[in-house]
Amino acid sequence: MRFFKWLHPGLHIKRWLFLFGLGMMCTSFGIVLTFNYQWIGQVEEWTFRLLYEATGHYNYTVLASLGIVILLAGILIMGWSTRRLIRTMLGVIMPNESENLSELILSNMKLSKGPKVVVIGGGTGLSVMLRGLKTKTYNLTAVVTVADDGGSSGRIRQDLDIIAPGDLRNCLVALADKEGLMEKLFAHRFGGSGNLSGHSFGNLFIAALIEVLGDVEGAMDATSKVLKVRGKVIPSSADKILLNAELSDGTIVQGESQIPRAHGKIKRVFTTPEHPRAVQSAVDAIRDADAIVLGPGSLYTSIMPNLCIPDIAAAVRESKAKKIYICNVMTQPGETDGYSVADHVKAIERQAGAPVIDFVMANNGDVDPAILQKYAAAGQYPVQIDKKEIHKTGATLIQADLVNKETGATHDTNKLANVLFDLINALRTDLSPELLHYYLKRYNLKHPRR
């Protein structure tokens, strides 16, 4: 009975059906008054006469039954015609979705009422998470770093004097309503040996829109319409930012792409200009969020650049939303060598200027030993979960199996989205801290660290 799905609470369908029926009653009553209600009495008299001739006596029950049949027939005709009208209109707007329109509409209505989630970061890790989150809510905003200075993004940034489009492109594609050809097109890199060699089509597309529209946010909105993006992708700053790192020995490394290559212990990161301007819509989204998610992604080159923007860091500190950090599965050479989960949290909170992390998610799922050996050859090792140190930061630890067994020691899109939204939905309830703690412990029980 697919019809009854339309009557689920919270869809705001029943009120409009009731109003439609009320309107039809008013219309019918108005017609009766306009054309003289006495003709109704004539119809009733004619019906009684017909019944008397057929049965030999008057029977009001038959007349009432006839009225009910006519009423039900009218309701069925209105429902059927309304359904056909909606299907016809939607068939023109969405010709490829004609088979399961009711399921599509109900799903979209449910997702449009989902929690307001802001994710902050950049790089591959963020786009992996966004692919899962777009199936949970449409009220999703990605605040993305623009400090990339390598590859196609770096060349476009240098040649056209605009922000780096690479991470923005990855997030837009990840949030596209239907990935496929457009994803391949935006990720396509030109070959050959000319000026276009190595450039991504998506980067060039975004760069062209920035030049045509003269506005980064306008370019993001236009690209979102082309890709039918679920949610929003906003650069953290419209300024051309250069990311710098100060190492523990005092060495200053300039450029996001150069920081991991220095292979030193990072003391802090900062930007040139020192105080980049934040995009106001990004600040507004953070302040209005139900939940703020940082990561996954490179700690110092994907997450930190956003927190180097004073207004972004201030908005994160001041927001009443719970802040959730998704810790990387593996350490990164030149950035987080030897880092534990607590070290990641402490680094973020130093940059943010306050203990902002409420929850930290860490993987405790098993990784194939053969895959671990390959990572170890590249200087990468599993991030250790140090519960006591995490507890000292004030953050609540959530352990779960978050890895993709097929691709290696990386986050699984669906696993991460499911656990994350399980937490976000729990936080939206009025559970007491004790009940919430007990509710979240089940992940630790299901996936104990071996």
Give per-residue pLDDT as tens, 287-327: 999 999 999 999 999 999 999 999 999 999 999 999 999 99
CB atoms within 10 A of CB 186: 23
Chunked into runs of 10 residues, the chain (450 residues) has average pLDDT values of: 56 69 78 65 71 67 74 81 72 61 68 92 92 94 94 89 92 84 83 84 93 92 90 95 95 95 94 96 97 96 97 97 96 96 97 96 91 93 95 93 85 93 86 69 52
Q: Which of 124, 131, 213, 136 is nearest to 166 (CA)?
A: 124
What does R_g of the chain's alpha carbons equal in angstroms?
Answer: 30
**Measured distance CA(190)–CA(185) in Å, rounded:** 11
pLDDT at 169: 92
Rounded to an integer, what distance in angstroms lies between the CA atom of residue 297 and that of residue 134?
A: 18
pLDDT at 187: 82
Kindly provide the b/e burial profile for residues 138-150, where b requires at least 16 CB atoms within 10 angstroms of the residue's own CB: bbbbbbbbbbbbe
Helix (H) or strand (E) holding 21, with range, is helix 14-34
Task: Name which of 397, 331, 390 is nearest 359 in CA terms.
Answer: 397
| Residue closest to 305 by CA, chosen among 252, 256, 258, 342 | 256
CA separation for the pair 212, 214 (Å, rounded): 6
Separation in Å, CA 204 to CA 153, 179, 182, 236, 302: 9, 19, 14, 20, 21
CB 315 within 8 A of CB 286: yes
* Residue closest to 121 by CA, chosen among 167, 164, 157: 167
Using the structure block, give the residue that is written with the tokens 């009711």: 102
Long-range own/partner contacts, residues 337-343 (CB < 8 A, 24 or more apart) = 337/265, 337/379, 339/299, 339/383, 340/383, 340/384, 340/385, 340/386, 340/389, 341/383, 341/384, 341/385, 341/386, 341/389, 341/390, 341/397, 342/386, 342/389, 342/390, 342/392, 342/393
The three-class DSSP label of residue 166 is helix
- What is the rounded CA–CA span in Å between residue 289 and residue 446? 30
Q: Are 324 and 420 in contact (CB under 8 A)?
A: yes
DSSP track, 23-87: HHHHHHHHHHHHT-THHHHHHHHHHHHHHHHHHSS--HHHHHHHHHHHHHHHHHHHHHHHHHHHH
pLDDT at position 97 is 56
| pLDDT score for 286 | 98
Backbone angles phi, psi at 105, to 5 degrees: -65, -45
Sequence-distant (6+) residues with CB within 8 A of 53 are: none
Identity of residue 369: P
Residue 397 β-bridge partners: 360
Could you tell me which of 361, 270, 352, 277 has the C-alpha nearest to residue 319? Answer: 352
Predicted confidence at residue 152, as pLDDT, reads: 87
E-strand stretches of 273-408 = 291-294, 322-326, 359-363, 396-400
